[in-house]
Copies of this chain bind each other. A is one copy, B any other.
Amino acid sequence: MINKLCVIGVGLIGGSLARDLKRLGAVREVVGCSRNPENLQKALDLGVIDSFSTDVAQAAQGADMVVLAVPLEAMQGIFESLQGSLAESAVVTDVGSSKCAVIKAVDTVFSGTPAWFVPGHPIAGAENSGVEAAVDGLFVDHRVILTPIAETGAGALQRVRGMWQQVGAEIIEMEPHHHDEVLAATSHLPHMLAYTLVDVLGRMQDRVEIFRYAAGGFRDFTRIASSDPRMWHDVCLANREAMIGVLEHFAEDLDQLIEAVRAGDGEYLFGVFTRAKAFRDRFAQNGPAASGSR
């Protein structure tokens, strides 16, 4: 049981977590914190939080669990504001999609990673954002990756695991650097492709018509291009190194495919399509549910 939960950044992820913990009776009190008082009032009206403050130090006062659900670029500032205002029993975790960057931020502020900090990342985004998008059961059967390092306290880790298990998530532990590479490949790269494709098509002269003739497959393919631009701006800057690796790998393979189309190299093309279909079909049998059916 969490006594006082402080959620810093009450959007889709922070809001859904608070909502579920309250609904399940796993938390006594939720304090919301954000720079935007209108958003906090909305969260209060929706019953997602019990009170709020726009001041980080004040919001975190007396909390035994603090969750940072803010864009990656805001993390370091939050850690600075938390200095000296955390309760002795407090555990802090985050939901950022690059783990090395968040660990570096906490390291910078506290001159080393404190035992009470547990880096985390729930794999449950959506193209929607904001507390209005928060839903019950967002994390059920979804994975939450925790990336503890040597300095992380076992007790703190156990309490963060417990929180995510309460809301139905499957917990996985991974080395931070490895997390960043895996996510660059499975999440950041697809987002870059969808954004680039929609931007390319949108800037074509006959764009009205272009989109008019797009079929259902196009809608599925480009759904993630509706994701929050600010969040993805931050991801690109924070996870730069891992992203460059997979982006270049992809660009090289795409160049080879373009060469094959130009040369009419049907054998090469058939090989790529056949391998990809086999991988995708296997993934479809074992992978997560579609976002639509979540």
Give A residues with C-beta under 8 Å from B.
Answer: 123-127, 142-143, 145, 172, 182-183, 185-187, 189-204, 206-207, 209-230, 232-233, 236-237, 240, 243-244, 246-251, 253-255, 257-258, 260-262, 264, 266, 269-270, 272-284, 286-292, 294
Q: Please name the residue on chain B nearest to A264 by beta carbon.
A: B237
In the complex, which residues of chain B have a beta carbon less than 8 angstroms from the beta carbon of A223?
217, 220-221, 280
Q: Please name the residue on chain B nearest to A206 by beta carbon.
A: B182
In the complex, which residues of chain B have a beta carbon less than 8 angstroms from the beta carbon of A269?
232-233, 236-237
In the complex, which residues of chain B have a beta carbon less than 8 angstroms from the beta carbon of A247?
254, 257-258, 261
- Please determine whether A272 and B195 come into contact, CB atoms closer than 8 angstroms: yes
In the complex, which residues of chain B have a beta carbon less than 8 angstroms from the beta carbon of A250?
196-197, 200, 254
In the complex, which residues of chain B have a beta carbon less than 8 angstroms from the beta carbon of A206?
182
Number of copies: 2
A-B contact pairs, 17 of them (CB 8 A): A186-B215, A187-B215, A190-B197, A190-B221, A190-B222, A192-B257, A195-B277, A201-B279, A202-B279, A225-B276, A226-B281, A227-B273, A227-B277, A229-B274, A232-B269, A237-B269, A250-B254
Q: CA separation between A59 and B140, bound complex, in Å?
A: 54
Partner of A182 from B210, B262, B291 at Cβ < 8 Å: B210
Partner of A292 from B212, B236, B288, B292 at Cβ < 8 Å: B292
In the complex, which residues of chain B have a beta carbon less than 8 angstroms from the beta carbon of A274?
229
Which of A145, A182, A196 has the most chain B CB atoms closer than 10 A to its own CB?
A196
In the complex, which residues of chain B have a beta carbon less than 8 angstroms from the beta carbon of A283?
198, 211, 214, 219, 222
Partner of A276 from B190, B202, B273 at Cβ < 8 Å: B202
Known: A236-B269, A261-B243. A229 touches B125 (CB 8 A): no
In the complex, which residues of chain B have a beta carbon less than 8 angstroms from the beta carbon of A195?
257, 272-273, 276-277
Q: CA separation between A240 and B206, bound complex, in Å?
A: 20
- Please determine whether B266 and A233 come into contact, CB atoms closer than 8 angstroms: yes
Partner of A213 from B183, B191, B221, B278 at Cβ < 8 Å: B183
Closest CB of chain B to A202's CB: distance in Å? Answer: 3
Closest CB of chain B to A78's CB: distance in Å? Answer: 19
Q: CA separation between A275 and B222, bound complex, in Å?
A: 13
Closest CB of chain B to A110's CB: distance in Å? Answer: 25
Known: A266-B237, A270-B230. A291 touches B186 (CB 8 A): no
Known: A125-B215, A240-B264, A258-B247. A280 touches B198 (CB 8 A): yes
Q: CA separation between A265 and B101, bound complex, in Å?
A: 17
